[in-house]
Amino acid sequence: MSAVTGWAGTVKAVAWSFLGLRGKHAMERDVQQLKPLQVIAVGLLGVFFFVGALAALVHWIVPG
């Protein structure tokens, strides 16, 4: 597997972690290669996107 670098790799690692499908080997590699500030930033953006998508879905389903 290729190394996780940059923002794209951070997004990929955080997305797999959100789903709970990150393997032990991949997690250990991420711990050594990812910058904590990038992980926090991408994680917060992911949470805001997820909550926004849920709010939009509820607004679309519930009339009024």
What would the pLDDT profile of 20-51 be if each residue is shown by its tens digit? 887 788 878 888 888 889 989 999 999 999 99
Residue 4: pLDDT band (50, 70, 90) is: low
Say whether pLDDT at 52 is over 90.
Answer: yes
Q: How far is CA 63 from CA 15, 22, 50, 58, 59, in A?
A: 31, 38, 21, 9, 7
**What is residue 1's predicted lDDT score, i.e. its pLDDT?**
46
Mean pLDDT to the nearest integer, 4-24 = 82
pTM of the predicted structure, to 2 decimals: 0.74
